[in-house]
Amino acid sequence: MWQVAAKALLSGVLIAAIAEIGKRLPALGALVASLPLVSVLGMIFLWHARPDPENMAVHAEATFWYVLPSLPMFLLIPALLRHGTPFWLALAAGCMLTIALYLGMMHFGPRFGLKL
């Protein structure tokens, strides 16, 4: 149980650090947020729990394919904000777009041979 708490604490520290950096230097905060820190930590924790090369390969490859549908959100949100859309509405629209693209990836990805 302490391992789960340690993982949660580490994740929380990363999020808090990104928020604090972003307050002072937005571009640097964005750079740190864009680093695949959560993915790398997730792979480390997964490897520790189940050191299986094939399982890790499937996980890493699926992570790549699931990152792609999330990227348009980071273009939609600033476009909406710059056109006067309130933050929460822009964020919700970005999240809805991402969900729709994730569902599309889950539906169409396997048809193109992706292991998701």
pLDDT tens, residue by residue, 77-95: 999 999 999 999 999 999 9
Cα–Cα distance for residue pair 102/116, rounded to 1 Å: 11
**Residue 35 in 3-state DSSP?**
coil
Q: How far is CA 14 from CA 18, 77, 114, in A?
A: 6, 22, 31
What are the structural domain ranges in the chain? Answer: 1-35, 51-116
Give pTM, 2 decimals.
0.81
Q: pLDDT digit string (tens) for 20-31?
A: 999 999 999 999
